[in-house]
Amino acid sequence: MMQFMKNNAGLLALVLIVLFQQSEIKEMERTLNYIYAAVQANNDDIQLVQDEVWAISDVLISVHSEEEPVD
């Protein structure tokens, strides 16, 4: 009977370790999802600024080409 209890205690300890590791993995997953969302938002901001820069560049090129004297 004592051996049975020792084996069950060991098994219970292993189950508790696995459950703890699963909760750690879930916490890590939440953290990674938060980081991904922040990076994605930053990427969207960068893309917006890049589009604005290209639009301004197009306007400047257009104005410059209109001001060139025609020979």
pLDDT digits (tens, 9 = 90+) for 32-70: 999 999 999 999 999 999 999 999 999 999 988 877 665
> pTM for this structure?
0.56
Dihedral sign (CA 34, 40, 43, 45): negative
**Distance in angstroms (rounded) separating the CA atoms of residues 29 and 31:** 5
Quick check: 16 pLDDT over 60?
yes
From residue 54, alpha-carbon distances to 16, 45, 46, 61, 63 in Å are 57, 14, 12, 10, 14
Residue 9: per-residue pLDDT: 85
Residue 59: per-residue pLDDT: 93
Quick check: 7 pLDDT over 80?
no
